[in-house]
């Protein structure tokens, strides 16, 4: 299969950047999207042009490193699929494909298709954990957790931190990411002691970098793990409740 | 590598006191927007119910229009207990504050979201999957409704925009106003915008308030659709009836 | 190859094995809480072992500095572990115990691991589950709200805890979150997109590292009292493996070149359930969790060269070869055995799929028995992943699977304290060699990674640190750092100045082909000798004809890869040398010359019950083999039998 690629190239965070067009020739339909880019890079290396820089690692849709905008779709057109699991058989021979980095002021381009997602770590550092020191834990079966709660928590916890939700959002909001992280912990009994302080700390950190949710729902469609925006509603509710919980400052 | 510089989409310095922190947060602002939205939805519904009295025609015994009586009753709400018009005044103050808060929070959020997006734009046309036409045009439908509202007040409450305006003669004023085709078309267009605004808003407010229950979530969409349809059909029926000559 | 009589001191405690760890913890020097902050610890890598060690050492009060080449601590390849984590909780009430987990692991490792280390691993396994549940890892549960367990390859009890098919992800998120907390508290300094390119030694002990900032290209020295490498395995030496693209052996290899012995390099695991390669351009292979073998049945057509579609082959013309050959374990035979059995089928021209490079893993019976919904609940995300990659629906047609390099049991030699032969330099997780012998059992990698990080290194590091109280780390303006930085700079510039014609990937692919053919599932003397010669010649070619564009002072992914592949060449050679020197078959190391009549591995316990620890003697010098004799007091040496 042959494709015409329009790819964003940018040398450094401060360089202006722009599009360049490349031809990808003789690509196997069995190739993944990133293998197609590997092929193009191999060719670029041969002709003396620096290869296109892009983030990737596990190539099985779990590490969250990869992610580009493919023809205006975060991670490409296939639902619930990270860029690395997108295969070229989903395209037609001769297609033109526009490949762009995620765009948001909070996630500036580092080089070509690579963006800086470190604000997501800042959000976790603000409170996305259960404060338990190693060695202090009671037996794992001391607290029974309803299967349904554990499953719902797992739904949220399956977030891979790829930032497609932010890339998809017309407001560059990180609410789905943050809500998934909060939902993962607040649905479990272990997450209750810090539930209210956590939501305030994480939401406020999130808002320092990113926009606000206006309930378009694009994030949910972009999410390679299909995480529901219900978690955003839960986060909103907890954030409001937390305002009152914390005034009492007696832990409830 | 060193951490990204914070974009400072908004800065909360000095807002920490009491609920200030909450209402300066984007989630707080969306909450405010949802609450005022609920108030405005109730108002729009009440307004429609009142207006539908125009179809009640004229009372053959007294020769009075029920809609005129309705309007009069609004000024005498509270009966002899409070000064005449004071309850209506309170309503008006409340309503105006809701409008102002609703618009103010929208403006603040829009500004923040622009900052959050930065200058980067996608080159490829975005094919939205979940976002609806209504959700992406809230800003514009809102502005259309606001402009219409100003005209509507000037037209039917203050009378500046209606040469045939007579204070208290609600029925006649409506007929006179909507008999002008330009006004009727503007009226209808604004109501389409209003319905779109409600279609997204009446669903979105549940999300913003955090009213979520996986079992009943689907009802939120139905509710928003039904609410928007009722307002649209009800409000369009009046200019259409006037133009068609069904009410006079 | 020369041999050395110098004995390695593994520092195994005395007394009954059940007491080793407790005795050792008591005997180890403690560091006073107020003194902990005076000690600087550098940790390389933020997978399960690195992140858990960093978090725990931070909690204890040490001054910790962490480096990862990823953009976040949550991306390391631990995240891709699917099936689960073992623990001797015996929640399933099926006769499990610490001793049985220990026994299974030693036996599963084909008697080439250190008993004392494995026993400790089994002991702390229970604490891992407690710890991770408290951190909020959403393990699968029964309807009563208690933890669910499943069985896994190589075990006859259900001792595996799991979180859907994403157990590694959830455990890593737990460790990452614990680490994030320490970063916020200021106990841990954290650097992303920073790759370690050398270990710095002074007077024979590790005093720091040299780091390249992958964004700016800046090369900087960092000093500390101890350095810990939690940098994973080197399966990517095969180019096509289930490892993530960036996984590499550079940190361990650089340490080896500075004096850390490299143990059992030829012990690699080729995992039996991976999706077969589809074409020449494939960049990596994808693992399908071994848990699939709980319900899937593995078969090939009885007749060689049978081209019919799987559903057209009647039951009596199928060969369920694992069930036939290993009736006791059936489809749950250990990984090395299952992989070799599949290899033999393909050699007999019974391979299936377009390239005849796979065997079937069939869920038809399980779906008939349990219903599609139950199978979906258990393996839904794996089936979905398979469908994404192959465009085939495993609910209706069987999966195609084959073996792929997956894990390296070999790694830096460490003693009971996890310290390498370089004082002050530690190796954790897959980067060390310690617990899995010649073959790792399923769901044991996660167990070992977190055990090292959460429960072992925080105690054992005290032993070394106690001697350095109130002595500052060597300042980074010391000449040893300047020299190390210089060396790294020169090497970097060398890659850029070769200006040949072939890309890094091209060389890597060629190396991988040599390795999989000669140092893969089955090895023999002739092949290994040929491999060594070929590796050397391709490596020579690499240094002459490599083409890396761009500059060293910017983000340059080809340059990063060049350094890693250069080290892979050296690792590959040592793997082949090690495989050649071990004249026996054990676990993942299968020498065609040493097999029983029915094709099973034949160990030679008399001559080879040792850990082969290789010492770097300098460029162009043969490496020296040191042997750590293994004693088996508790698990009787026996031929593994899974029939």
Chain segment A139-156, per-residue pLDDT in tens: 999 999 999 999 999 999
Look at residue B14 in the predicted model and tell me its pLDDT.
Answer: 43
Phi, psi of A98 (to 5 degrees): -95, 125
The pLDDT of C470-477, averaged and rounded, is 96
Give the lowest-confidence range in A47-56, B7-16, C462-471: B7-16
Instruction: Say if residues A174 and A209 touch (Cβ distance below 8 Å).
Output: yes
| Contact call for A211 and B113, based on CB within 8 A | yes
Interface test with B, best of A172, A178, A200, A246 (most B CBs within 10 A): A172
Residue C142 lies in a domain: no
Per-residue pLDDT at B162:
87
Both C380 and C492 in one domain: the answer is: no
Residue B85 near residue B75 (C-beta atoms within 8 A): yes
Chain C partners of A133 at a C-beta cutoff of 8 Å?
56, 59
Cβ distance A54 to A112 under 8 Å? yes
Number of domains in chain C: 2
- pLDDT tier, B60 (very low <50, low <70, confident <90, very high otherwise): confident
Residues C495 and C578 in one domain: yes
- Is pLDDT of C405 > 50? yes
Cα separation, A218 vs A168, in Å, equals 6
Please report whether residue C355 resides in a domain: yes
The whole-angstrom distance between A237's CA and the closest CA on chain B is 4
The answer to whether the Cα torsion of C135, C140, C146, C147 is positive or negative is: negative
The alpha carbon of residue B81 and the mean position of all alpha carbons in its chain are separated, in whole angstroms, by 31
* Res. B13 pLDDT band, cuts 50 70 90: very low
CA distance C191 to chain B (A): 6
Sign of the alpha-carbon torsion through C125, C127, C129, C131: negative
Q: What region does A196 belong to: left with phi over 0, alpha with psi -120 to 50, or beta?
A: alpha
Q: List, in order, residues 6 or more apart from C228 with CB less than 8 Å away.
A: C41, C42, C43, C44, C50, C53, C425, C426, C427, C428, C457
State which of C388, C405, C422 marks the end of a domain: C405
pLDDT more than 90, % of chain B: 69
Give the model's pLDDT for residue C641: 76
Q: Which residue has the higher pLDDT, B17 or C519?
A: C519
Closest residue on chain A to B26 (Cα) = A212
Residue (of B19, B209, B104, B231) closest to A215 by Cα position: B209
Residue-level pLDDT at B160: 87
Is residue C39 predicted with pLDDT exceeding 60?
A: yes
Q: Map residue B116 onto helix, strand or coil.
A: helix
Question: Which CATH number does A3-110 carry?
Answer: 3.10.20.30
Q: Say how many CB pairs under 8 Å bridge A and C.
A: 219
Domain membership of residue C220 (yes or no) is no
Task: Name the residue with tokens 């007091």.
Answer: C633
Q: Is A214 on the interface with B (CB under 8 A)?
A: yes
Output the 3-class SS for chain A: CCEEEEEEECCCCCCCCEEEEEEECCCCCCCEHHHHHHHHHHHHHHHCCCCCCCCCCCCCCCCCCCCCEECCEECCCCCCCCHHHCEHHHCCCCCEEEEECCCCCCCCEEECCEECCHHHHHHHHHHCCCCCCCCCCCCCCCCCCCHHHHHHHHHHHCCCCCCHHHHHCCCCECHHHHHHHHHHHHCCHHHCCCHHHHHHHHHHHHHHHCECCCCCCHHHHHCCCCCCCHHHHHHHHHHHHHHHHHHHCCCC
Tokens 């920490």 sit on residue: B16
Tell me the average pLDDT across A58-62.
Answer: 94
Give SS3 for C155: coil
| Residue linked to tokens 């992914």 | C557
Higher-confidence residue of C381 and C582: namely C582
For testing the chain A interface, which of C127, C135, C357 should be mutated: the one with the most A CBs within 10 Å?
Answer: C135
In a shared domain, residues C597 and C483:
yes
The CATH 3.10.20.30 portion of chain A extends over 3-110
Do the beta carbons of residue C485 and residue C535 sit within 8 Å? no
- Closest alpha carbon within chain A to C129: A140
Q: Listing from the earlier edge strand, what are the strands of the sheet with C411-412? A: C2-3, C624-629, C610-615, C262-263, C411-412
Q: Which tokens hold the place of C506?
A: 């091209």
**Nearest residue in chain A measured CA to CA from C168:** A62
The side-by-side arrangement of strands in the sheet containing A69-70 is A18-24, A3-9, A96-100, A69-70, A73-74
Specify if C444 maps to a domain: no
Rounded Cα–Cα distance for residues C317 and A232 (Å): 54
Burial of C92 (0-12, 13-18, 19+ CB in 10 A): middle
Contacting residues of B for C191, CB less than 8 Å apart:
1
The string of pLDDT tens digits covering residues C268-292 is 999 999 999 988 789 999 998 888 9
Q: Indicate if the pLDDT at residue B18 is higher than 90.
A: no
Beta-carbon-side half-sphere exposure of residue C473 (alpha carbons within 13 Å): 27
Instruction: Assess A101–C contact: CB distance below 8 Å, yes or no.
Output: no
* Rounded Cα distance, C94 and A85, in Å: 39
Q: Quick one: closest CA in C to B2, which residue?
A: C191
Residue A186 has pLDDT above 70, yes or no: yes
- Measured between beta carbons, the chain C residues lying within 8 angstroms of A88 are none
Q: According to the 3-state scheme, what is the secondary structure of C597-641?
A: CCCCECCCHHHHCEEEEEECCCCCCCCEEEEEECCCCCCCCCCCC
- CA angle, B28 as apex, B23 and B29 as ends, to 5°? 80
Residue in this structure with the two tokens 């910017």, named with its chain if needed = C554
Angular region, C188: left φ>0, alpha ψ -120 to 50, beta rest: beta
Average pLDDT over residues C334-339: 89
Fill in the DSSP letter of residue C503. Answer: -
Per-residue pLDDT, averaged over B64-86, amounts to 90
pLDDT at site C165: 85
Nearest in space to A55 (alpha carbons), one of C233, C51, C557, C248: C557
Beta carbons of A104 and B131 less than 8 Å apart? no
Q: Cα–Cα distance between C367 and C82 in angstroms, integer?
A: 21
Residue C191: closest CA among chain B residues belongs to which residue?
B1
Domain boundaries, position C540: 479-602
**Average pLDDT, stretch A181-198?**
95
Query: Tell me, what's the pLDDT at A250?
Result: 54
CA C643 – CA C637 distance, rounded (Å): 17
User: Is A46 in the C-facing interface, judged by CB distances under 8 Å?
Assistant: yes
Query: Who among A28, A132, A141 is closest to C279 (CB)?
Result: A28
B38: closest CA of chain A, how far (Å): 16
A 10 A CB-CB count for C320 gives 17
Phi and psi, residue A250, nearest 5°:
-120, 25
Q: Looking at the structure, do residues C495 and C375 belong to the same domain, yes or no?
A: no
Compute the mean pLDDT over every residue in chain B, rounded to the nearest whole number. Answer: 90
Contacts of B1 in chain C (CB under 8 A): 191-194, 213-216
Q: What angle do CA C76, C81, C83 make, to 5 degrees?
A: 165
Q: Which residues pair with C14 in a beta bridge?
A: none
Q: Does C279 touch chain A (CB under 8 A)?
A: yes
Distance to chain C for A131, nearest Cα, Å = 7
Query: How would residue A246 be classed by pLDDT, with cut points 50, 70 and 90?
Result: low
DSSP secondary structure, C538-603, as one string: HHHHHHHHB---S-SSS--HHHHHHHHHHHHHHHHHHHHHHHHH--S-BTTB-BTTSB-TTS-B--
Cβ neighbours of residue C419 under 8 Å, at least 6 residues apart? C425, C426, C460, C464
- Count of CB atoms within 10 A of residue B179's CB? 15
pTM: 0.95
Q: Do A171 and B3 touch (CB under 8 A)?
A: no
Interface test with A, best of C139, C232, C277, C281 (most A CBs within 10 A): C281
CA distance A54 to A36: 12
Q: Do C505 and A161 touch (CB under 8 A)?
A: no
The answer to whether B200 and B193 have CB atoms below 8 angstroms apart is: no
Q: Is B180 in a helix, a strand, or coil?
A: coil
Tell me which chain B residues have a C-beta less than 8 angstroms from the C-beta of C67.
none
Calculate the average pLDDT of chain A.
Answer: 94
Q: Which residues of A touch B109 (CB under 8 A)?
A: 212, 214
Test the C interface: residue of B1, B2, B3, B4 with most C CBs within 10 Å: B1
| Residues of C identified as active-site | 335
Q: Return the pLDDT at C271.
A: 93
**CATH of the domain spanning A117-248:** 1.10.1060.10
Over residues B67-83, mean pLDDT: 90
Record the tokens describing residue C566, joined without a space. 């250069």
Query: Same domain, yes or no, for C296 and C400?
Result: yes
Q: Is C539 on the interface with A (CB under 8 A)?
A: no
pLDDT score of B129 = 84
Residue C490, pLDDT > 50, answer yes
pLDDT tens track for C100-141: 999 999 999 999 999 999 999 999 999 999 999 999 999 999
CB C258 within 8 A of CB C199: yes
pLDDT digits (tens, 9 = 90+) for C586-643: 999 999 999 998 888 999 999 999 999 999 999 888 999 999 999 999 999 987 777 7
Nearest chain C CA: its distance from A155 CA (Å): 9
């Amino acid at each position: 299969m042959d494709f015409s690629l329009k790819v964003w190239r940018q040398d450094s965070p401060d360089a202006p950047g722009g599009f360049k067009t490349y031809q990808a020739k003789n690509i196997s339909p069995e190739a993944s999207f990133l293998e197609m880019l590997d092929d193009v890079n191999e060719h670029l290396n041969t002709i003396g042009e620096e290869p296109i820089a892009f983030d990737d690692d596990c190539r099985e849709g779990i590490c969250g490193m990869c992610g580009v905008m493919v023809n205006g779709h975060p991670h490409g057109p296939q639902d619930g699929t990270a860029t690395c699991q997108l295969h070229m058989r989903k395209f037609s021979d001769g297609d033109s494909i526009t490949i762009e980095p995620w765009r948001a002021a909070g996630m500036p381009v580092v080089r070509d298709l690579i963006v800086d997602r470190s604000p997501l770590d800042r959000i976790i550092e603000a409170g996305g954990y259960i404060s338990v020191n190693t060695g202090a834990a009671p037996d794992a079966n001391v607290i029974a957790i309803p299967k349904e709660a554990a499953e719902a928590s797992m739904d949220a916890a399956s977030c891979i931190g790829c930032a497609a939700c932010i890339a998809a959002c017309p407001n560059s909001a990180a609410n789905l990411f943050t809500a998934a992280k909060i939902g993962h912990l607040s649905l479990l009994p272990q997450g209750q002691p810090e539930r209210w302080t956590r939501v305030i700390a994480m939401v406020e950190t999130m808002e320092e970098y990113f926009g606000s949710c206006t309930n378009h729902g694009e994030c949910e469609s972009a999410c390679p793990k299909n995480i529901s925006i219900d978690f955003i509603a839960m986060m909103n509710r907890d954030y409001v409740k937390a305002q009152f919980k914390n005034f009492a400052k007696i832990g409830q | 590598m060193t951490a990204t510089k914070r974009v400072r989409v908004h800065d909360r310095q000095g807002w920490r006191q009491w609920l200030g922190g909450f209402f300066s947060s984007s989630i707080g602002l969306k909450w405010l927007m949802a609450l005022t939205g609920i108030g405005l939805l109730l108002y729009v519904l009440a307004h429609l119910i009142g207006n539908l009295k125009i179809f009640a025609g004229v009372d053959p015994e007294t020769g009075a229009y029920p809609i005129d009586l309705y309007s009069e009753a609004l000024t005498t709400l509270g009966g002899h207990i409070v000064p005449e018009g004071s309850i209506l005044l309170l309503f008006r103050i409340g309503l105006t504050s809701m409008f102002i808060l609703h618009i103010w929070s929208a403006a603040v959020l829009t500004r923040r979201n622009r900052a959050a997006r930065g200058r980067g734009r996608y080159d490829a046309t975005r094919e939205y999957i979940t976002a609806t036409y209504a959700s992406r045009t809230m800003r514009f439908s809102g502005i259309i409704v606001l402009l219409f509202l100003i005209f509507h007040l000037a037209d039917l409450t203050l009378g500046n925009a209606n040469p045939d305006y007579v204070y208290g003669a609600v029925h006649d004023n409506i007929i006179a106003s909507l008999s002008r085709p330009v006004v009727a078309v503007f009226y209808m267009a604004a109501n389409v915008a209003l319905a779109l605004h409600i279609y997204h808003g009446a669903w979105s407010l549940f999300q913003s308030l955090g009213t979520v229950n996986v079992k009943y979530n689907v009802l939120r969409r139905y509710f928003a659709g039904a609410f928007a349809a009722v307002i649209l059909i009800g409000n369009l029926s009046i200019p259409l009836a006037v133009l068609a000559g069904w009410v006079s | 190859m020369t041999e050395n009589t110098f004995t390695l001191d593994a520092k195994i405690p005395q007394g009954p094995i059940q007491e080793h760890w407790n005795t050792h913890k008591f005997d180890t020097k403690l560091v006073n809480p107020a003194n902990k902050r005076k000690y600087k610890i550098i940790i390389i890598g933020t997978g399960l072992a690195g992140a858990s060690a960093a978090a725990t050492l931070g909690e204890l009060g040490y001054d910790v500095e962490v480096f990862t080449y990823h953009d976040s601590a949550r991306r390391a390849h631990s995240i891709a572990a699917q099936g689960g984590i073992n623990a001797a909780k015996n929640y399933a009430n099926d006769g499990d115990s610490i001793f049985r987990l220990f026994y299974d692991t030693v036996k599963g490792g084909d008697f080439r691991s250190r008993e004392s280390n494995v026993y400790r691993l089994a002991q702390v396994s229970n604490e891992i589950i407690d710890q991770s549940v408290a951190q909020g890892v959403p393990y699968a549960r029964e309807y009563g709200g208690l933890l669910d367990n499943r069985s896994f390859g190589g075990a006859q009890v259900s001792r595996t805890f799991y979180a859907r098919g994403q157990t590694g992800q959830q455990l890593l998120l737990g460790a990452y979150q614990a680490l994030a907390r320490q970063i916020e508290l200021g106990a841990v300094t954290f650097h992303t997109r920073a790759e370690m390119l050398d270990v710095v030694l002074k007077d024979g002990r590790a005093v720091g590292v040299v780091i390249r900032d992958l964004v700016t290209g800046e090369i900087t020295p960092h000093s500390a009292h101890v350095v810990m490498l939690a940098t994973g395995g080197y399966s990517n030496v095969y180019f096509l493996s289930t490892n993530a693209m960036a996984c590499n052996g550079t940190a361990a290899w650089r340490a080896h070149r500075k004096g850390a012995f490299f143990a059992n390099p030829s012990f690699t695991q080729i995992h039996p359930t991976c999706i077969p390669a589809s074409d020449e351009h494939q960049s990596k292979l994808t693992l399908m969790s071994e848990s699939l073998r709980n319900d899937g049945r593995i078969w090939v057509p009885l007749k060689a060269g049978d081209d019919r579609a799987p559903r057209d082959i009647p039951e009596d013309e199928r060969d369920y070869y694992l069930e036939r050959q290993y009736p006791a374990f059936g489809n749950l035979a250990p990984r090395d055995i299952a992989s070799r059995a599949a290899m033999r089928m393909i050699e007999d021209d019974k391979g299936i799929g377009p390239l005849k490079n796979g065997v079937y893993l069939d869920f038809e019976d399980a779906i008939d028995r349990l219903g599609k919904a139950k199978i979906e609940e258990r393996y839904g995300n794996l089936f979905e992943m398979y469908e994404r990659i192959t465009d085939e629906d495993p609910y209706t047609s069987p999966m195609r699977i084959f073996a792929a390099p997956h894990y390296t049991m070999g790694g830096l030699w460490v003693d009971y304290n996890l310290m390498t032969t370089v004082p002050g330099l530690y190796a954790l997780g897959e980067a060390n060699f310690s617990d899995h012998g010649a073959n790792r059992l399923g769901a044991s990698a996660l167990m070992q990674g977190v055990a090292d990080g959460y429960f072992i290194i925080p105690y054992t590091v005290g032993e070394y640190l106690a001697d350095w109280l109130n002595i500052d780390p060597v300042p980074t303006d010391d000449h040893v750092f300047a020299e190390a930085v210089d060396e790294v700079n020169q090497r970097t510039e060398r890659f850029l100045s070769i200006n040949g014609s072939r890309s890094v990937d091209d060389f890597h692919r060629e190396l991988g082909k040599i390795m999989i053919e000669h140092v893969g599932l089955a090895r023999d003397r002739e092949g290994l000798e040929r491999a060594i010669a070929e590796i050397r010649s391709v490596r020579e070619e690499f240094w002459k004809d490599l083409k890396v564009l761009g500059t060293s002072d910017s983000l340059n992914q080809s340059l990063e890869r060049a350094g890693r592949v250069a080290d892979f060449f050296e690792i590959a050679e040592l793997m082949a040398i090690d495989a050649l020197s071990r004249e026996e078959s054990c676990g993942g190391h299968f020498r065609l010359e040493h097999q029983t009549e029915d094709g099973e591995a034949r160990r030679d316990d008399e001559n080879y019950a040792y850990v082969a620890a290789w010492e770097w003697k300098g460029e162009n010098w043969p490496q020296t083999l040191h042997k750590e004799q293994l004693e088996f007091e508790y698990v009787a040496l026996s031929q593994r039998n899974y029939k």
